[in-house]
């Protein structure tokens, strides 16, 4: 079991290691995990993950979607670099997801590690779905992928807060992106379509909350983290 000090998974969606470390110096030990996506991964690789894991468990978010051997190798590499979480697309299919679950079990003999199956991106909505997806609703797709991930043996999922109620019965670690504070929701959700506040998501069954802009764009990231936690537990 990966122990997080709180459910906030800080999305370090910035372009330089200097900027990222400056933010981490401010939040220090106040976040539960740190999400690193391609913007930083492709520039700085495993060396950067090694630095960041000193602050909190690292969540490598590259959403791998490829042939089975490539996806397995990518997840192994994420683990070897020091990650505690890593994402793959649920669309990889049951065979790949099952082999990932076996790899996850093997890696957990060394230290806690979780593969997260990504369902439907929060930048997608029923309106901008690809045509071949539109025969089902967003919710139907997410439920189907949750069932697939669970049947394959995985224990972690990524979905928007809007689908949490639909997958309550699935015993999964549910990571929710598209999280915005009340203030940010009033201004602009930018490229996210299916968004939700931290308190709403936690009340609906989220295990982890991916929060980026609300924290990294604030004048005082540490105070913002504190306010978010207070809003969740108030």
**What one-character DSSP code corresponds to residue 196?**
B
CB 148 within 8 A of CB 161: no
CA-nearest of 10, 21, 27, 197 to 85 is: 10
- Between CA 183 and CA 185 the distance in angstroms is 5
- Between CA 228 and CA 157 the distance in angstroms is 22
From 3, 35, 51, 63, active-site residue: 63
63 has catalytic annotation: yes
- Between CA 148 and CA 98 the distance in angstroms is 9
**What one-character DSSP code corresponds to residue 174?**
E
CB 216 within 8 A of CB 183: no
- Between CA 117 and CA 16 the distance in angstroms is 27
Task: Assign residue 227 a region (left: φ > 0; alpha: ψ between -120 and 50; beta: otherwise).
Answer: alpha
Tokens of 214: 């609300």
Hey, which bits of the chain come out as E strands? 8-11, 33-36, 58-64, 85-89, 114-118, 156-158, 173-176, 208-211
In total, the chain counts a number of residues equal to 234
Q: Give catalytic residue positions.
A: 63
């Amino acid at each position: 079991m990966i122990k997080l000090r709180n459910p906030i998974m800080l999305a370090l969606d910035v372009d330089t290691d200097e900027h990222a470390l400056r933010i981490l110096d401010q939040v220090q030990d106040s976040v539960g995990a740190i999400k690193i996506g391609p913007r930083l991964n492709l520039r700085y690789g495993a060396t950067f993950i090694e630095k960041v894991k000193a602050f909190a468990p690292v969540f490598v978010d590259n959403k791998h979607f490829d042939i089975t051997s490539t996806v397995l190798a990518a997840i192994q590499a994420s683990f070897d670099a020091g990650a505690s979480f890593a994402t793959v697309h649920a669309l990889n299919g049951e065979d790949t997801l099952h082999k990932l679950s076996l790899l996850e079990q093997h890696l957990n003999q060394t230290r806690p590690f979780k593969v997260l199956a990504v369902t439907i991106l929060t930048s997608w909505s029923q309106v901008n779905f690809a045509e071949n997806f539109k025969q089902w609703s967003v919710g139907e797709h997410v439920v189907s992928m949750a069932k697939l991930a669970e049947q394959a043996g995985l224990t972690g999922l990524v979905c928007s807060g809007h689908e949490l109620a639909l997958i309550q019965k699935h015993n999964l670690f549910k990571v929710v992106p598209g999280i915005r504070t009340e203030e940010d929701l009033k201004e602009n959700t930018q490229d996210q379509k299916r968004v939700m506040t931290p308190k709403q998501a936690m009340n609906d069954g989220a295990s982890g909350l991916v929060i980026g802009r609300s924290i990294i764009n604030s004048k005082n990231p540490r105070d913002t983290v504190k306010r978010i936690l207070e809003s969740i537990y108030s």
